[in-house]
């Protein structure tokens, strides 16, 4: 009886926590990308600096295919401290230049079946960089196959995600502009979490931890 009461209380407290999430759209998926739980998963929203995951992926695709020297420092600055200048420089150094970089970001999105995603520039500062949580699950899953991105996601110093080291992240990327609100995506072992439109930059981490424990 005590065990049943404990489980009931645990369920109620967890449901209460999830009901108090400020994010306008969020999703928990398994490691196959199948949704476990979510709210407004199809809602298209500005994604801010989560954009940088795609910027880095297309940069790495091009440089590896051409066997060019990869600037690891610039990649880490773009992903760890979310340095906008570093993201711009990666896109500008893309073979063919900035325009080809943006074209390939959108081309790769279409190849991945991301029908609700668009990239206008490489940093995430534009409101015209948008997606939804379902598409972002696919982006996070794809990003987890790039060793350079996984490595950057484990760097604690100057990381915009203060919970690095507290959880065993495979991938983690934050984002924020006024229109987007607090955003974060993360892959932890067998779970992918996407949060868009959290109230502010602090609530996104509180809500991330709630969803990781859900």
Residues involved in catalysis:
49, 52, 82
Token digits of residue 141? 């899953």
Token digits of residue 90? 């990666």
Eight-state DSSP code of residue 30: E
Long-range contacts of 188-192, Cβ-Cβ distance < 8 Å, separation of 24 or more: 188/212, 189/31, 190/30, 190/31, 191/28, 191/29, 191/30, 191/31, 191/36, 192/27, 192/28, 192/29, 192/30, 192/31, 192/33, 192/137, 192/140, 192/141
Token digits of residue 197? 């439109």
């Amino acid at each position: 009886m005590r065990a049943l009461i404990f489980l009931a209380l645990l369920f109620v407290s967890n449901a209460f926590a999830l009901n108090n999430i400020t994010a306008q759209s969020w999703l928990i998926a398994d490691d196959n990308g199948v949704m476990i739980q979510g709210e407004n998963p199809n809602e298209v929203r500005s994604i801010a600096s989560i954009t940088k995951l795609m910027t880095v992926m297309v940069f790495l695709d091009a440089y590896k295919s051409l066997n060019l020297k990869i600037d690891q420092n610039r990649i880490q600055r773009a992903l760890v401290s979310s340095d906008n200048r570093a993201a711009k420089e990666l896109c500008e150094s893309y073979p063919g230049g900035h325009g080809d970089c943006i074209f390939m970001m959108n081309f790769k999105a279409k190849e991945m079946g991301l029908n609700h995603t668009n990239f206008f520039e490489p940093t995430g500062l534009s409101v015209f960089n948008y997606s939804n949580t379902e598409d972002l699950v696919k982006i996070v899953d794809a990003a987890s196959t790039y060793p350079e991105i996984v490595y950057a996601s484990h760097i604690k110093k100057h990381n915009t995600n203060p919970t690095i080291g507290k959880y065993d992240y495979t991938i983690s990327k934050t984002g924020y502009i006024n229109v987007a609100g607090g955003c974060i995506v993360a892959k932890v072992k067998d779970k992918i979490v996407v949060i868009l439109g959290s109230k502010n930059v602090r609530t996104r981490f509180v809500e991330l931890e709630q969803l990781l424990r859900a």
